[in-house]
Every structure is written in structure tokens, then in C-alpha cells.
Amino acid sequence: MKTVRTQVAIIGAGPAGLVLGQILHRNGIESIILEERDRAYVERRLRAGVLEQGSADLLRELGVGERMDREKLVHHGVHLQFEGERHRIDLSGLTGGKSITVYGQHEIVKDLIAARLAQGGPLRFEVRDVQLHDLASERPRVTVRDADEPHEITCDFIAGCDGSHGVSLPSAPAGHFTTFERSYPFSWLGILASVPPSLDELVYAWHERGFALHSMRSPTITRLYVQCPAEDSIEAWPDERIWAELQARLAMSDGWQLLEGPILEKGIARIRSHVTEPMSCGRMYLAGDAAHIVPPTGAKGMNLALHDVRVLGSAMTSWYRTGDQRELEQYSATCLRRVWRAEHFSWWMTSMLHRLPSDDPFGAKLQLAQMRYLCRSSAAATSFAENYVGFEHA
């Protein structure tokens, strides 16, 4: 078996793993990124597209924000819609000028992969049989098959950035992690449509038939979602039904119409919350979806992942430069404060905007009262805006 030595082994080539690799590279720290999927799959995997101010700034700091700044859509507000009326929350005005950036996660991944390869950093796709060993030692190991040839990678640290179904989380001894989770009794059906956005900012819509979201990916591509029963299959949703449901849930009392176009992709995702504590085991550190999942309502998933690796990259840099391990020891606690703030915000938005199967008219009245207060109270709107653009003091 061939043995390779590096400083940090990164499991997963999603945004978390690739951004961590970029942070380490810029601080002179060697790393190897391992990904089980092929490059084409990783670059076309559609996920979130809303970046907090701090996330967009981080990409610029790392030298991978040039295309983002050319193609991005900057939003200074979002809309809440209920009872046929739309109410704008002025994000920038309420947060001292902060905004959100719409730029697809798969585009970020493309930019990061291109930067990694241009730098000559090791990035291995289609690896198999990845296993993590000796996590509690000073020399953890990763064994992997690459083109049917077994390899062993020895390192100082392992970064588990491979999602909730990856190998990192289950590699810890039984009982090491504590899991907190909640499953919601509905799913999101999402589509990508070849049609210009019908509005220049996001719309979160409450409707008696269920939640709907109008978003976008570019000036010519619209991203839309509808709440659907948890057990629904995509076969139950032909294109005609999707558009009819979106038209009904996004309809305005003034006659505004949603633009329609060819549906390029569609899929159904279950909505759940999941947090793993602590976010480390020996010299393995979890980041992103490997440690936590949030409902997409608050647009926090990718932003939390980028915050995790910013903290982890800083801690590792400090250790290599000075031998000080205090930041590494505090990594989990530092990240979890922000994770739980985001979990609460995402749960709150989800609870306010979605109809539950058990809802009675009383529940609907409570939701409407909450939204009216949010749209009429500057204090409530400011709290919403701070959380949405990225509250820095979690």
C-alpha cells in the first residue's frame, strides 16, 4: 500500500472542504481533498444560492470571488407575502447597509475547484472505500482506494466535510457524539425554470394551501419551491400541476402574475433539523452538513458551512504557526453558538410560513398575527434582518 503524507486530510469536495483547502493553501498548509463523486457530478449538484454578507466577503478574501462579483444578484431586501399582499423587509436599511448575494452553490464549487487545480493542490475525485483511523492519536490516518489502488494518507488533522451521509461522522467511537434532531411533516418540491425571475428579490409566501418561495439563480433562471406532503414523489408532480400550485400560492390581490417557462430540473427534499455535538473527535473536526442540517427556509446551510471552516482554518493556522491549540479546543463551542442561533432562526421561519397537517384555524391565525407584527414593527423587522444577513454575535 502506497503511503502519502500531508498536514490536513479533507474529506469531501463541497463548499466546506474546498474553502478550507483554499484557506490552508493561503496560509502555507498542505492538504489533500478526497471526494467520492466525479467532478462533473460535484459541479452540477444544485444546492443553496443565498450568501450572507460575510460568506461573500470570505470568498473575495480567498481570491475566488471574481466571477461571483460579475454574475451575482445582490438583494437589499426580501418580501413576505400573505393574504394576497406583499411586504418588503429592508435588509440593508435595517442592518447598516448589509445585503445578501444570490450566486448558485454549484457555481461557487466550480470556482473553488478551478482555483484548487490551478494551484496544483491535490484534489482526488472518485475515491472509494474511504476509512478514517487513529482519530485520537497525533497521526490520524485515512485509507482509500484511488483507481483501484489502495493508499494510506497520514496527517496531523482530518476535516470531515462530507455531509450527513459521509464516512466522517460514523468514524468516531460509539457514544462519542450526541445528536439533536427534528423532522418536519412536509417536504419542499423545488424547480429550476428557464424563465426570467418575476421579481427582483426573494418572496416568502404563506398560503392556506402551503408555503411557496420565489427565488432566482440568474437574470434568466428562476428557482421556485412549494411545500408538499412529506411522502410525495416527484411523479405526482407533473409540470402543469407545479405551475398551477405556484400560481395559486404566489397570486396577488392586484393581479400580479408569475412568469412561467420550461422546467429544467425538479426534485423533492425532506425538511429536517440536525445538530451533532461536539463537532470534533480527537484530531477529526466536522464542518458543514457533516455536523448540522438546517431547514432551507432561513438560507443558512452553506453559510454555516463556510463559517465553520473559517473558524477551523484559523485554528489550524494558529496551531501550525505557534503550537497554540486553544482555538482548536474551542472550535466546537465557537461554531455551535452560531449553529444553534441559525437553527432557531430557521425553525422560527419554518414554523411561521408552513402549514402543518395538524393545523386548525387557530394555528393559521397565530401565523398571520406573527407575520403582521413582523411587517409592522421596526424592532421585529430588525431582528429578522440581522439574522437573515448573518448575525455576527451569535
**Inter-axis angle of helices 326-353 and 378-389, nearest 10:** 130
Active-site annotation holder among 204, 285, 320, 331: 204
Active-site annotation holder among 296, 307, 320, 331: 296
Query: Among this protein's residues, is 295 annotated catalytic?
Result: no
Query: Among this protein's residues, is 388 annotated catalytic?
Result: yes
Query: Among this protein's residues, is 300 annotated catalytic?
Result: yes
**Inter-axis angle of helices 361-376 and 326-353, nearest 10:** 120
Query: Among this protein's residues, is 184 annotated catalytic?
Result: no
Query: Among this protein's residues, is 214 annotated catalytic?
Result: no
Contacts of 43 (CB under 8 A, 6+ apart): 106, 109, 110, 113
Active-site annotation holder among 75, 76, 98, 207: 75
Active-site annotation holder among 292, 300, 307, 354: 300
- The residues carrying an active-site annotation are 75, 204, 296, 300, 388
